[in-house]
Amino acid sequence: MNKNRLEIWVNRIVDRVLDGGTREDDLVEIKGDWPGPEQAGQLAGMANSAGGQPILWIIGLSERRHELVAFEKDRDLNTWWPAMEKQFAHGVAPQIETLYVDIERGDQHIGSVCALLFETDRAPYMINLKDEDKDKNTGWAKAAVPWRSATGTRTATRAELLSLLQAKAVVPSMAVVWSDVSLYDPAKAEAPLDKTRLSFMAIVLIDSQPGQHTFFPTHRQRITLCSSRGHEVDCSAATYVTSAPMRPPSDPNNPFETRFPRPKEFNQYGATDSPSGLVMMAPDVVRMELSAYLEPAVSQSLSESDWVELVAVLPIGASDQQAGLRQRLLRTKHHKVVPADYGGQELLTSWVTGHPPRRLSGSQQKVEVRMPSAHPSAPS
């Protein structure tokens, strides 16, 4: 992994923990000090269950106390890692990469952590059993295949071992180019509503491998907005818009072909959206969007949040792997009233990140993101 991307990942997790949160997912482990050889099984279990994705251990951070902690910064990695590596059977251990990251809060340097990045593309990883754990009757059991389950480690089941034999897809990286989340006042609409309208849009760059077919089924995706006040809004029903043009009707005079939405032409040089999901053939920019209505208690808490965090997990079809992103959006000033086609609803507040592109261009279809000069509004 690129050193800059690794540092960004570490800083995001550290900020999250220092702000009172927890680690992001099962690909991250937080340690106050250097783990000993007895924790090699935990490392192997994480690596086996990671689905080929890199895993990250952060040394020098307390998830329970939400603070940086002192650790041995001059630890000799040339002696520490071989002691860990020796616990792995058949000489196969995750490849390790280390990076010390200085942590700053505001304009103050508050300490540093050590990031240990492990590649997991050689799973399964096996751990040598101690003499007292070996099968004394047959002598067969000399090593075990650990597996991470929730926050513990156990021996892998048959189904989990079979999952390691499944072909691994290339996982594209994703980055938010621009995103806007807005709330609209239901009481000031032309037809007053009981619930607050939420508008969500994100322009996302999906950096897939050219020529590699990658399918993201929409029924498996998990998209969540997490507020600074602890509430979560499920946006998994979000749909995609790409620059792939509409397929022309084979018979314009057939009422059934004009009555229903037509499918898109397949874009062999980028992204294609369909009701079943998103197909990637090369790096491209896509748009996620959702309009929903929130209960008063949720909308009230959300409207008082200083920031919201977009968390998207997109599983890859015919695979146990998934692409993901996490991006924080900050509150912006709000005084604009949206156009009449939104029923005159007044904007309560919104959160934004990045800079909006002018358009996603296609040969027959233009997908534009129009932005007022003073404030990003809902999609038009």
Domains in the chain: ranges and CATH:
3-163 (3.30.950), 173-368 (no CATH)
Residue 103 predicted with pLDDT over 90: yes
b/e map of 17-31 (b: 16 or more CB within 10 Å)? bbeeeebbebbbbbb
| Least confidently predicted of 16-25, 250-259, 290-299 | 250-259
Under a CB-based contact definition with an 8 Å cutoff, are residues 364 and 245 in contact? yes
Half-sphere exposure at residue 279, Cβ-oriented, CA atoms within 13 angstroms: 16
What pLDDT is attached to residue 278? Answer: 95
Residue 321 predicted with pLDDT over 70: yes
What pLDDT is attached to residue 353? Answer: 92
Higher pLDDT, 94 or 185: 94
Higher pLDDT, 246 or 355: 246
Cα–Cα distance list, 67 to 8, 58, 64 (Å): 18, 13, 8
**pTM, to two decimals:** 0.62
What pLDDT is attached to residue 363? Answer: 37
Residue 160 burial by Cβ neighbours in a 10 Å radius (0-12, 13-18, 19+): middle
Q: Stretch 336-358: mean pLDDT, rounded?
A: 68
For 114, list phi and psi in degrees, rounded to 5.
Answer: -115, 125
Residue 360 predicted with pLDDT over 80: no
What pLDDT is attached to residue 48? Answer: 93
Residues near 125 by beta carbon (within 8 Å), at least 6 away in sequence: 43, 44, 47, 48, 88, 92, 93, 94, 145, 146
Residue 225 predicted with pLDDT over 60: yes
What pLDDT is attached to residue 139? Answer: 63
Residue 289 predicted with pLDDT over 50: yes
Residue 33 predicted with pLDDT over 90: yes
Q: Stretch 105-126: mean pLDDT, rounded?
A: 92
What tokens were used for 71?
A: 């650790």
What pLDDT is attached to residue 134? Answer: 62
Residue 182 predicted with pLDDT over 60: yes
Q: Stretch 133-161: mean pLDDT, rounded?
A: 79
Higher pLDDT, 104 or 230: 104
Residue 132 predicted with pLDDT over 70: no
